Structure 1
Amino acid sequence: MSHQFKIFRAILTAVIISGFFMHLLCEDEIKKAVAADRISDIKFHKIYPFFSNELLDIMSIYAGSVFDSVKVFRQKEILREYYNGKGYDSVNVKIKSERESKKLIKLDIKVLKSEYYALDKINVKGNKYFSDFRLKKELKTYWRSWLPWDEPGRFIPDEFETDKKKIEDFYRGRGFADIEIENSFKKDSADNTADITFDIEEGPLYYIKIKGNHFFSKMRLKKQIKLLYQGRRGEVAVRQIVRAIKERYTEQGFNDVKIEWKDSIKVFNHVPNKEVTIFIKEGKRIEIKGIHINGNKSFKAKKLKPYMNSVVSRWWRWTDYFNKAFWEDDIRNLKAYYEQRGFLSPEISGRLKYNSDNSIVTISIDINEGVRTYVKTAEFSGAGEIIRKEEKRIRSSLEGAYFSYGRLKEHTDYLKGSLAAKGYIYSNVKNTVIFSEDSATANVKFEIDSGRIVSTGKIYIAGNLKTKPYNIKKQLLVKENEKFSILDMAEGQRNLRDQQIFKSVNMKTPGIEDKKDTLDILIEVEEYPPYYIQSSGGYESFSGPFVSFLAGNKNLFGRNKELSFSAEASFVKQAVTCELSEPAFFHRNISASVAGYWAREFNFDPDFETRTLGLGTGFNYKWENKLQSSALVQIENRELYQKTVLGEDSNIFRNIGRLRIMQSWDRRNSFLRPKKGFFTSFETEFSTGLNNNRDDFIKYMYDFKYFYTPLEFITLAFFTQFNYMQVINPEFQPLVDQLFYLGGTGTVRGINEKMFLTDSEGNSVGGKVTALAVFESRFVFREKWEIPIFCDTGLLTKRLDGDKGKIRTTVGTGLRLITPIGAMGILYGFPTDVNEGILNGVFHFSLGYTF
């Protein structure tokens, strides 16, 4: 019944998420909310150096919210406090309202602020172990004072408090567990400057020594020792460490472990050092000689042993050890195991027999299973045809199966959920059980009071300044004058929240408390601004300097459609794309798009250029569990401009039709910085030349990436790829711009882009088959830095049979900086061809991980 239980749990979650029982409004309040004046727009003036989005995020009003004069007035104080915390003492906020229409009011907010206080001096006192400069490096206030933009040197009180915490964490992370810091600032109104001071009481530097630890090395107790650096004061942290070490030993069967500690103060270079010595008396582990389970007629001993937590066992050793702390729990666990499987009154007891020195124990467990109860009949009364299908499902699951109260509750909840999903949200289900005299059978009866069916009344929408009501209602599963379902209601709310045009979606239903037959629904939305502009630039080893631009409207005409324009330019590629997309095409899981594009790409070895003008349309379906399926149809005109061996120019014009079918599955824990999980994709491309035969082929492309983090500071990354081109007519071979190439940042590092295989003239050679295997270990240090060590192996061949192709391996390393927008790094690799020796290596600059 796990599937049915998930359904009911989903319904309960729907109730909680949607807040149906938390937003109990009367009908008059809904009508007031719909008829109320609303804020049409919020315009800011003189807010530099802040952006409007920053201020909107801290305010409690937004475009589309109800206009409440008291609430609007309160924004003055909110903005004043924000500006004060950012370094402006005297702030005057003026808010002017202007009615634009009968129900819409525009707000103009002007912020008049005084001059900011510039940071003059940063004083650090009391620091003996670290220099002033070393501590200042940890301060955001210090680095800001060097910036030439954003009002350089502005003293920001909010950052000042954060800096104090950063210095405390810095000290504690290095063993100063008793660190105390007092921070203060002094402002000079005449010069508009501020001096800040950090008074530091370092306290002693803690060293942890462990003695008597034979079973665990100090390295294996590192996790427990690290508690010293996590914010607790010295002695409190030490006691935490002792408790954690004791728990670690107890888990491994050391029942009599004793741990004591003492500290002593020593002074080195005028700095007090507190040496904490932890003394461990491990004692002996109690070895289990044997586990004897008697009376277990229904279940084998190997089925019961996993529920005995007192048995400390590991797959790599023969000997098991005994943990006395869990012995009483074992009896309870075994009893619960039997009760959940139909044995309602099992009698279970245990005996322990030690040898003379208490180092070996024999465990005996005596079980009197009693009678196992089976469900003879399952009867239903009160609901009739309403839940006939559910009745059949429950009967087939219960009758003839063993009885348990847990399963009975699960089925009862399932019935309640099924009725609520059908519109009977006021239903009630009770169960009764009648046992036979010998308790061998049980008759279960479900008494169902379905109540009245509830219908959906009017659906009111508020806060949608740009989005058409029809496009909001289209995402709902409940319809006006049809049955009301809490599950459908929650699904509709989830559909709306999944749209990228809404910042928040809230649904309210009055009348549930009064058990009304018709429930109206109020949907309040907060919209994102529809327009966006983005630009970026950088440098990559292959493309050199590059810039990109993206602009669009993600709520075109208020119909939840996105129109975007993008452009990119570098030494090797220029491209322009215009795309119209529909994020919910007839179904919330289906997205569709149509795009026109132009691209110009350069290749230097061999020297050729392609110019592409095309039109494409595609569909994407998002399955559950992060699985996606896509289909894309493209028609393009492609011009291949190639310089021949004789130095002459050759232009080839082709019209190409293409169908691409893709399947991907993404189970990575993070897109920007994956540490565990996998990503796999398979793509099939069907290509046909509309005016030639050289573009008639099928491409198969498979990728697999896997990430594993065995230790906190090490991530192992694997990447495999296989590409194959099947030519339809062997007499017409594909041109150079359709072949597969290897080499470069994204494939085989340590080799220049597309230069994996070259001809006698030094020009790159493509193939119809490529295979790639990449291994990379990523070592983290100082939190935001990584050192990768990689080994890449590739295979490129012109065909599958009769051509061995070429296999090359490269190795290398580099350095990456982890930023909020991804990794930035420089890598260096070189090939290790056996026949040619070690060749010159190649540097790679990259934004983001190479895979």
Structure 2
Amino acid sequence: MKKNLLAGLVISLLASAAAAIEPFTVRDIRLEGIQRVEAGTVFSYLPVKVGDTMTDEMAAQAIKALFATGFFKDVRIEMDGGVVVVVVEERPAIAQIDFIGLKEFDKEQLTKGLKEVGVAVARTFDRATLEKAEQELKRQYLTRGRYAVTITTTVTPLERNRVAINFTIDEGEPATIRQINIVGANAIREKDLLAAMQQKTGGWLSWYTKDDQYSRQKLSADLETLRSYYLDRGYLEFSVESTQVSITPDKKEIYITISINEGERYLVSSVKLAGDLTLSEEEFRKLVKIRAGEVFSRERLNETTKAITDKLGHQGYAFANVNAAPELDKEKRQVAFTIFVDPGKRTYVRRINVTGNTKTRDEVIRQEMRQMEGAWYDADRVAKSRERIDRTGYFNEVTVETPPVPGTIDQVDVNVNVAEKSTGNISIGAGYSTAEKVILSGSISQTNIFGSGKHLGLQINTGKLNRTLGINYTNPYFTVDGISQGFDVYYRTLNPTSLGYAFQSTSWGGGIRFGFPLDEKDMLNVGLAIDQTTIDITPITIATPIQYIQFQKEHGDSNITLPATVSWIRDTRNSAIYTTSGGVQKAGVEVAIPGVDLSFYRLTYSNQQYFSLTKDLILMLYGEVGYANGLEGQTLPFYKNFFAGGVGSVRGFETASLGPVDPLYPDTRLGGTRKVVLNAELLMPFPGFDKALRLGPFIDAGNVFNETGYTISEGGLRWSVGLTAAWISPLGPLKFSFGQPIGIEKNDKIQKFQFQMGTTF
């Protein structure tokens, strides 16, 4: 009845828009009222053409067709002799869309979502579509647990038949979880199940973790977590019976009730291998993580199928299928598994395609590839290739896909897509001390100059004590085998007169170095340099340490050394920027070749490791030791001593302020022949910044020592605790630390706040 009434209403409207006419031949068609819509667009929708016979029925069809386009809010058909006049009134166009009060979502994200439902700048404005968009916005907020959200939409007419749309949003407070009940948990304590879930009732850290804020997506993830929790403990028949979410009338608190059926616990009775065992069964057996007699675990079963799939992938079987079929014995509560192996056909790589590199040359990326074109596909080599490209530090993101070649069953392409990042860097370090006030240091570098993969850097330090100007250059692929070559040139002055003692040193030098890859993770570096250092001591100043005066008497004002270096580096990091696992080990030997003015050696070792405690919680541990001494009966030059304290060492203490002091002048730091530094940091992303901002507590320890007159037992380690933050900001990388020394000694120099900042280009 309603449908008939509506049809009659439409017909009557069409009839009123086009009065009854006598049929005639159309000589011409004229359009009136169009502003933005092209005439050709209107003609393409009109069912009437020149030469047609115009009738009432055809006029009604024309009006209906033009209304259906959504471009017009009024359409009339008029006759002027043999001319059909189409009079239209266009709907306004959307000129701008603004959001007021938006905090929960990114504006670009919402704008993109509105476009998908038909509301976007330059689109035709339609009230019904706008109401649909408003409901979609509310739905998005409800998924974030913001049930108190209110959205007021304002449409403002503008000149030239346009409108501006404003969404005024009062997001309200997110609904927090008041209580979670799990009904049916008997074998496993409800307390343990709640601890495994991502969403929780409020705790003392909820202001940071926001784990008490309800989210529909998080609840779905938690249900899957519960399922995995039971399946990993043998409950094969576990199921979630129902989930109820209720909200209080004030829309501020959420109550969640989850009803589950645990089922029975199953033991594994046997594990068999079947199918095409390309490798020997014994080799496959070594990969089976689940054993007969054990409690069933889905996690171990998945590890088994993945290990077999990966093994086949390393042998060139890119499309291997490995599936486990269970056979339940409900009476004995046992399950037997048959793992079916189908390796498919052995696959080779047809072509490697590189995309996204708008600046970096193709060969820079291809030289990091370990999977070769024309060779058998090797999943391990493909993974290593992606990792090596990522570790160059030239790209924000590296993705590798291996789609099959159309029309073949034994070929794949390797598609490498990269997202370029700014590899130029201008960094500035700053600190404040009572001796030097504000200390500035900086560097400018380009690690991918002209997209060639070569590194070029300039270092500058403007501190009163230490002024440096240095240039370094590295070609990581000096040869096609991956041998690197580089050189360094520097000029620096040391002028610690502000500390009360008068000596100055001027050093210049340079050197060449080569790097030899030992394997995928290890590199051996060798180098040879020349250094000339001139010492200027004013003996009349009693604050000059006696060690410095004695060194000048023995070796004169100016000395030349030829330092030869050998170092080993092992890099196992999974990423050069956002490291979450792996680390870097370095061991080095520096020897000033005997037979020149000065001869000595320095030994150093450092180890930095990252551990993923949870998805977002990263533990970083760092240790560094050093030992140095003279050769051929000489003492170690005092300006080659180790120093500790400050950023990159023991935070909370002034830079190079730790270690032995002059007996007569306790404010004078002499450095030492032995060095120990230990750091531990717990890093976590700050909410709303993803991985761009990470912060957490740290604890540092370290000191430098001499072999005589200052021992570990007498001097001891210096300790500090504090907070650190690292932010990859739009302006460049920023790093802050606030350290509080523990057990401050009489002569310690404190510098609690330290930071480094820079920008990329």
Does the TM-score normalized on the shorter chain lie above 0.5?
A: yes
Q: Give unmatched runs, 5+ long, in structure 2.
A: 1-94, 109-119, 123-133, 202-208, 275-279, 316-324, 352-356, 397-404, 407-417
Matched, 1:633 2:528: yes
- Following TM superposition, by how much is the alpha carbon of 1:700 offset from its aligned partner in structure 2, in angstroms? 0.8
- In structure 2, do the counterparts of structure 1 residues 728 and 166 end up closer, same or farther at CA, with 3 Å as the change threshold? farther
- Following TM superposition, by how much is the alpha carbon of 1:673 offset from its aligned partner in structure 2, in angstroms? 4.0
- Following TM superposition, by how much is the alpha carbon of 1:533 offset from its aligned partner in structure 2, in angstroms? 7.7
CA contact (8 A) 1:789 1:814 kept: yes
2-side partners of 1:465 and 1:189: how far apart?
A: 44
Q: Deviations over 1:153-172 (max 9, x none)?
A: xxx989xxxxx999989956
Q: Secondary structure at the match of 1:223?
A: coil
CA contact (8 A) 1:791 1:809 kept: no
1-side partners of 2:157 and 2:586: how far apart?
A: 60
- Following TM superposition, by how much is the alpha carbon of 1:661 offset from its aligned partner in structure 2, in angstroms? 1.4
- Following TM superposition, by how much is the alpha carbon of 1:696 offset from its aligned partner in structure 2, in angstroms? 0.8
Matched, 1:790 2:698: yes
**Count of aligned pairs between the two proteins:** 543
2-side partners of 1:291 and 1:266: how far apart?
A: 49
Q: 1:727 pairs with 630, 653, 666, which one? A: 630
Q: 2:255 pairs with 246, 262, 275, which one? A: 275
1-side partners of 2:485 and 2:273: how far apart?
A: 64
CA contact (8 A) 2:507 2:534 kept: yes
The answer for the alignment partner of 1:211 in structure 2 is: 182
CA contact (8 A) 1:618 1:632 kept: yes
- In structure 2, do the counterparts of structure 1 residues 631 and 176 end up closer, same or farther at CA, with 3 Å as the change threshold? same
Matched, 1:176 2:176: no
Alignment of 1:214-293 (within 5 A): 214-216=188-190, 217=192, 219-223=194-198, 241-254=222-235, 255-268=237-250, 271=251, 273-283=253-263, 285-286=264-265, 288=267, 291=269
The answer for the alignment partner of 1:600 in structure 2 is: 493
- Following TM superposition, by how much is the alpha carbon of 1:811 offset from its aligned partner in structure 2, in angstroms? 2.8
Q: Deviations over 1:12-71 (max 9, x none)?
A: xxxxxxxxxxxxxxxxxxxxxxxxxxxxxxxxxxxxxxxxxxxxxxxxxxxxxxxxxxxx
Matched, 1:646 2:551: no
CA contact (8 A) 2:266 2:296 kept: yes
Matched, 1:812 2:721: yes
CA contact (8 A) 1:309 1:326 kept: no
- Following TM superposition, by how much is the alpha carbon of 1:636 offset from its aligned partner in structure 2, in angstroms? 1.8
Q: Secondary structure at the match of 2:479?
A: coil
CA contact (8 A) 2:194 2:200 kept: no
Amino acid at match of 1:211: I
Q: Give unmatched runs, 5+ long, in structure 1.
A: 1-117, 125-131, 142-155, 159-163, 314-319, 341-347, 355-359, 368-403, 422-462, 478-483, 504-511, 514-525
Amino acid at match of 1:569: T
- Following TM superposition, by how much is the alpha carbon of 1:770 offset from its aligned partner in structure 2, in angstroms? 1.7
- In structure 2, do the counterparts of structure 1 residues 618 and 710 end up closer, same or farther at CA, with 3 Å as the change threshold? same
- In structure 2, do the counterparts of structure 1 residues 782 and 743 end up closer, same or farther at CA, with 3 Å as the change threshold? same
2-side partners of 1:250 and 1:728: how far apart?
A: 65
If asked which structure has higher relative contact order (CA below 8 Å, sep 6+), I would say: 1
Identity of aligned residues (%): 13
- In structure 2, do the counterparts of structure 1 residues 636 and 174 end up closer, same or farther at CA, with 3 Å as the change threshold? same
CA contact (8 A) 2:735 2:756 kept: yes
2-side partners of 1:244 and 1:548: how far apart?
A: 48
Q: Secondary structure at the match of 2:520?
A: helix
1-side partners of 2:614 and 2:230: how far apart?
A: 21
Q: 2:585 pairs with 675, 680, 684, which one? A: 680
Q: 2:431 pairs with 533, 540, 557, which one? A: 540
Q: Deviations over 1:274-319 (max 9, x none)?
A: 5332233445x4264x8579999x999x9699465897x5xxxxxx
CA contact (8 A) 1:817 1:823 kept: yes
The answer for the alignment partner of 1:145 in structure 2 is: none
Q: Secondary structure at the match of 2:198?
A: helix
The answer for the alignment partner of 2:573 in structure 1 is: 668
CA contact (8 A) 1:741 1:754 kept: yes
- Following TM superposition, by how much is the alpha carbon of 1:409 offset from its aligned partner in structure 2, in angstroms? 6.2
Q: Secondary structure at the match of 1:263?
A: strand
Matched, 1:717 2:620: yes
The answer for the alignment partner of 2:467 in structure 1 is: 574
2-side partners of 1:618 and 1:324: how far apart?
A: 48
The answer for the alignment partner of 2:127 in structure 1 is: none
Q: Normalised by the size of structure 2, how large is the TM-score? A: 0.55
Q: Deviations over 1:361-382 (max 9, x none)?
A: 4678999xxxxxxxxxxxxxxx
- In structure 2, do the counterparts of structure 1 residues 502 and 776 end up closer, same or farther at CA, with 3 Å as the change threshold? closer
Matched, 1:770 2:675: yes
- In structure 2, do the counterparts of structure 1 residues 766 and 295 end up closer, same or farther at CA, with 3 Å as the change threshold? closer
Q: Secondary structure at the match of 1:759?
A: coil
- Following TM superposition, by how much is the alpha carbon of 1:642 offset from its aligned partner in structure 2, in angstroms? 4.1
The answer for the alignment partner of 2:657 in structure 1 is: 755
2-side partners of 1:776 and 1:292: how far apart?
A: 45
1-side partners of 2:609 and 2:453: how far apart?
A: 36
1-side partners of 2:238 and 2:655: how far apart?
A: 64
2-side partners of 1:560 and 1:323: how far apart?
A: 45
Q: Secondary structure at the match of 1:220?
A: helix
- In structure 2, do the counterparts of structure 1 residues 705 and 815 end up closer, same or farther at CA, with 3 Å as the change threshold? closer
CA contact (8 A) 1:310 1:325 kept: no
1-side partners of 2:222 and 2:517: how far apart?
A: 47
RMSD, aligned α-carbons = 6.4
CA contact (8 A) 1:206 1:276 kept: no
- Following TM superposition, by how much is the alpha carbon of 1:686 offset from its aligned partner in structure 2, in angstroms? 1.0
Computing the radius of gyration from Cα coordinates, the structure with the larger value is: 2
The answer for the alignment partner of 1:585 in structure 2 is: 478
- Following TM superposition, by how much is the alpha carbon of 1:728 offset from its aligned partner in structure 2, in angstroms? 1.0
Matched, 1:826 2:737: yes
Q: Deviations over 1:83-131 (max 9, x none)?
A: xxxxxxxxxxxxxxxxxxxxxxxxxxxxxxxxxxx99x9774xxxxxxx
CA contact (8 A) 1:536 1:548 kept: yes
